[in-house]
Amino acid sequence: MHDHKTTFYVKTFGCQMNYADSEKIHRVLMQSGCLKTLDPAQADIVIINTCSVRQKGEDRVFGFVREIRKAAKKSGRTPVIGVTGCMTRKTGMAKRYLENTQRDQVYAISLLGGEGNFWNWDDPLLLRTDDIDFVFRIEETGHVCKMLSIILDRDFGNDEKWEEYLKISQVASGTASSNVIIQTGCDNYCSFCIVPYTRGRELSRPIAEIAEEARKSVAEWATEITLLGQNVNSYGKLTRKKLWNESALTWDKADIVTPFRELLDELGEIPGLDRIRFTSSNPHDMTADILNAHFEIPALCHYLHFALQSGSDAMLQRMNRKHTYADFKAQLDYLRSRDPLFSISTDIIVGFPGETLEEFEATARAMRECEFDFAYVARYSERNGTVASKLGDDISASEKARRWSVLNDILRDSVRNRNLLMVGRREEVMISGTGPEGIWVGRTRNFKEVHLPRNPDLRIGMIVVADITDLDGWALRGALATPVP
């Protein structure tokens, strides 16, 4: 197996941040001479980027590993399988590789933040199955090639230039939208969330570095940039220590210009950048300068995703969320007062430990009042190592399912009502892909999905003008209003 013929496949589970991280993995492997394949059964290297928000996500990962090994056995192949993402706690390789390797070959390789080295074989994933060859924390993506050199017993690329995870740029994803990671880690420690334990403390990239990556993407192929972080509101807080309240995890003054607003202003000046989006935000440290940026920076789209999680203040306290429902609703009302079509999506958890019927009803009431444009409603799933895992999972699966169904019925009505406001309007739609029977799928500036008829002249990345004619399930149906440019 030679570098220029080595094939790889990256399977991604989970959130938009994970997909951006997978693009970094693509960059590292492609720069090392590997060829990407769309068929995992034909890959020499399979890397799985995982999500551990819910137990079902972990079960899917192990199921996928078994599928790869089963297919490889039939074809006589022996792929190298690596796992990263939120299921991984420690970078390392299966013990069989380390036993045959000189310790000084790997001992000197430092990991991000000086937390150790990858002379490890005791990550829980490696102990659980022999089907996984290596694991790595996503922050150690830059050292993947070194580990592959040890596993394959030959030189594999050059990892010296990939020492800092945040500086690795994403590869073009085949669309006109570029994901740019601006921070990693999280300091909020919501009681149900595993992220602070898997991704570590919050770190932010410099504005100049992010802007340079964005300019390069726009110059080469992108017309839309999505900024990614676990909590973008607190971006750059270490550069404003006098204004950041560490104990409350929020900004001390309501009228400041935050580092994140400075970043948005910088990106808003990039010629050719038509759309800017960002995710995720939290209500507790949202500031007026970020809310107002949507109406002061032309490229910043009128869409915001920020997590409510529950409509009950008592429940929010048990979740270690630092906002109240009133805080959240006030921000939503402000945005919709400035633009009634401003789209807002959120995250909701049902069946959190101890959730009473009254607390659930408060969430149902909040869903009706907020009329979300979309919501990700999840049934609580216990994650070992979190504070909530010590509370006991005391809501039955059937009751969680009932509550989930109630909220989804409310969501279906609110999505329909919000989408009806778009019917009869003429909107700019960015083409993002194709759907069943060859229809084109795109997004409006306020992130509404639009289905357009088949047209041979359309291409992914085009921005076209369309008349919104009807509803199409959870999406909108449209027709081209002007000729394709």
CATH class of 3-165: alpha beta
pTM here? 0.79
Look at residue 169 in the predicted model and tell me its pLDDT.
Answer: 59
Where in the sequence of the chain do the CATH 2.40.50.140 domains occur? 426-480
Contact 47, 58 (CB under 8 A): no
CA angle in degrees (0–180, nearest 5) for 163-169-171: 130
pLDDT attached to residue 113 = 37
Pinpoint the residues of the chain covered by CATH 3.40.50: 3-165
Q: How many CB atoms lie within 10 A of CB 203?
A: 16
Give the Cα separation of 9 and 439 in Å (integer): 28
Domain 166-419 matching CATH 3.50.50.60: the answer reads: no
Q: Which residues pair with 434 in a beta bridge?
A: 440
- The ranges of the chain with pLDDT < 50 are 1-4, 102-116, 159-162
With beta carbons less than 8 A apart as the criterion, state whether 428 and 465 touch. Answer: yes
Specify the CATH class of 426-480 in words.
Answer: mainly beta
What local confidence, expressed as pLDDT, does residue 197 receive? 84
pLDDT at 265: 98
Distance CA(337)–CA(333), nearest Å, equals: 6
Residue recorded with tokens 């570095």: 209
Pair 274, 223: CB distance under 8 Å: yes
Q: Which residues of 380-404 are buried (b: 16+ CB within 10 A; e: fewer)?
A: bbebeebebeeeeeebeeebbeebb
Does an H or E element contain 122, and which? none
Helix (H, G, I), strand (E, B) or coil at 419: helix
- At 393 the pLDDT is 92
Q: Where in the chain do CATH 3.80.30.20 domains reside?
A: 166-419
Neighbour count for residue 1 (Cβ, 10 Å): 11
Residue 464, strand partner residues? 429
Please tell me the predicted confidence (pLDDT) of residue 357. Answer: 98
pLDDT of residue 353: 97
